[in-house]
Structure 1
């Protein structure tokens, strides 16, 4: 290498010549051709009604002025604008500060965080809980810290679980969606395989699956895990706060003492931001020291922690959960009566359409009628199963629900799917 290059001059000619950058325009064009390009569309508030701005790229967005009903949010209990939650966040900002300021292992640990974690542990029936900056960080940090030798993962698990499995560097065995028999077969195969028979095994699954609204067979999974000597980890992102005592499916099924690791988010029913892990004292103490997404991240903002804590309290002590389930039943019955197929058993209502183009057209027609409900198409869901994902909130009154059903009837007839 020349002295000129070593001293910061012109790089040497020859094999280093050429363009080794990234053609992002071509990648975007390819997404456009496949109907996979998505764009940001800001809203003026996070609630059951909102104004939206047309997608503007990097330009300053301008709201279109027309308010639409939002059936696309994970704000299931409608608590993001509840005065008590807003006041809790404001008080935390005023008293504690707007940000944690550092990792919680340095100076970012506050009494607000501890209050939240105590309430989470109580609702999840565990010894302790630990708050992370996001549910994604909780999954990645926990699985990587556990460092399992073999992971058995449901094929429809959330992307954060998929990425965590890759980061952990484990042998990943994917079993058929919600299929305990296939999991049993895969566990048996692994037990007979010299390359996987030894070491630590982790079975990981969502409890409620966000695109199908179905529920994992957790009791069967726990039975299989106990037979195999494996641990069970359940992500309750779409269930936390919606069942008895503010718990999730694990609590509904009475499995708190059989699930080793419980995860969840604070950004859905709990109307805030962040994620958490709940379990026994040894698990949480270990994660405090070994989960890199916790150790090397600034602590959850105190206003976010306080908002989630108050939202969890309201989920446990008010009628919000009952109101949500009444809305879910009303909407599911109404859509089914129209002739739509709406599988699942939770607050997530996948209205199956089938064809990708029909689903996109139906979403556009609903938007024109004042209803925001997204089209979900491959690769997020399997080919031929494109759908509209409908998610009502506890704050959607009967009139709003009826308007949604009317919009589906008119839009469905216009697009030709009814």
Structure 2
């Protein structure tokens, strides 16, 4: 008898189901780079340069000189790492400055920065410890895990369906549990479908039952509502109880944040275990995120992104592809998982990196290529992407 773990067997099962993932080493972070297969300790051998349409670096700021200078200044003036939990010695003026800017941008009393968006979701839900979470069926894994850790019960409502949410809340209310704490949680922009949650309708449903609403703006922060997100675009800052997001996508850094009223943030400082028991966000990351937020709010970087999004969406649609969503995330629906994987491979052979997304990440029959343009992709990059999709689509038999 053995009480160990057959990890080789688990890996074989993943491989047989075509679900095993491998690391790919990038030479640099940017719109164009060379890649190598995972060297597993050996020598890295990079191939030819490819154009990357797979990153969440939406504003193209990860290798921006202004952001790099801010990170360098943060390292030189404060340090490369916080050195401890912020409740010990790791709370610095750079953290406070970033939090003030985030709170101002989100229209809240205060903000709190975590080491990652994942930590922010799990820590916040756990600290609130709701009796019931009503969660959109396509919410991110970090929300799902937060519910597993912190919620007594999770009720899943149909994707972006405020009527189904309202019905499930009414059903729960009929059971007579009037003293329960309820939390409605949703992403604002859904990263695999490119669609947007109906936040005003969700606010209405939550308010009818005295529930709180928590919105994860991971894929929206910096891109809507003068840098805030969908909540700000829709003018709902005073109706959303918990605003959350990441610093690692459009803001080109690392970390997560929660924004809300003073009582919420003070409670999280004391009760969110992923904040209390984690070393503070590295000062260079905080400084970089702050500069990226400034660029997003004060320059035309966002407009440049939307110009590229429109060009790509129109070009792909005119070819005959079904492009889902309404945002900067462009899911090109393929359907069959084998076709999607082959399309991604042929795009890669043409020097365009755009990943195939297949079950279980998305439902059966809805495999897709996720295209993510950035503000810094050039007209030549966009044309190369469209040419690759046209050639590869014909080769796979999709066009």
TM-score range, shorter chain: over 0.9
Q: Does 1:35 align with 2:18?
A: yes
How far apart, in 2, do the equivalents of 1:116 and 1:64 lie?
Answer: 37
1:159 counterpart = 2:106: no
Q: Distance in 2 between matches of 1:329 and 1:70?
A: 18
Quote the residue 1:23 is aligned against.
6
- Structure 1 spans left out of the alignment, 5+ residues: 1-17
User: Is residue 196–residue 326 contact of structure 2 (8 Å, CA) maintained in 1?
Assistant: yes
> Aligned partners of 1:352, 1:402: CA distance in 2, in Å?
20
- CA–CA distance in 1 between the matches of 2:133 and 2:115? 24
Distance 1:63 1:93 in 2: 31
Structure of higher CA gyration radius: 1
Whether contact under 8 Å (1:132, 1:276) holds in the other structure is: yes
Number of residues paired by the alignment?
399
Q: Deviations over 1:377-415 (max 9, x none)?
A: 000000000000000000001111011000000001111
Q: Which residue of 1 aligns with 2:130?
A: 148
Distance across 2 between alignment mates of 1:303 and 1:344: 34
TM-score, structure 1 length as denominator?
0.94
Shift of 1:198: 2.7
1:53 paired residue number = 36
1:221-236 alignment runs, 5 A limit: 221-236=202-217
Instruction: Tell me the alpha carbon deviations over residues 161-215 of structure 1, each in whole angstroms, 9 at most, x when there is no partner.
Output: 0000010142110000001111111011010113x44311000000000100000
Q: Distance in 1 between matches of 2:162 and 2:266?
A: 32
Distance (Å, rounded) in 2 between the aligned partners of 1:312 and 1:61: 37
Please say if 1:287 is aligned against 2:268.
yes
Q: Give the C-alpha shift of residue 245 in structure 1.
A: 1.9
**Equivalent of 1:371, from 352, 366, 387?**
352
**Deviations for 1:225-282, whole angstroms, at most 9, x for unmatched residues?**
1111000000000000001321100000000000000000000000000000000111
Match of 1:198 in 2: 179
State the shift of 1:61 in Å.
5.2
Residues 301-323 of structure 1: CA distance to partner in whole angstroms, max 9, x if unpaired?
00000000000000001110000
Q: In 1, distance between residues paired with 2:82 and 2:329?
A: 34
Matches within 5 A, 1:264-413: 264-413=245-394
| Equivalent in 43, 67, 81 of residue 49 of structure 2 | 67
Most deviating of 165-174 and 103-112: 165-174
Which position in structure 2 is the counterpart of 1:12?
Answer: none
CA-CA distance at 1:63 after TM superposition: 3.6
d(CA) in 1 for partners of 2:357, 2:33? 21
**Secondary structure in 2 aligned to 1:91?**
helix
Residue among 28, 44, 50 paired with 2:27: 44
- Return the offset for 1:221: 0.2
Q: Does the CA contact (< 8 Å) of 2:132 and 2:151 recur in 1?
A: no
Q: 1:65 offset after TM fit, Å?
A: 3.6
Contact 1:43 1:63 in 2 (8 A): no
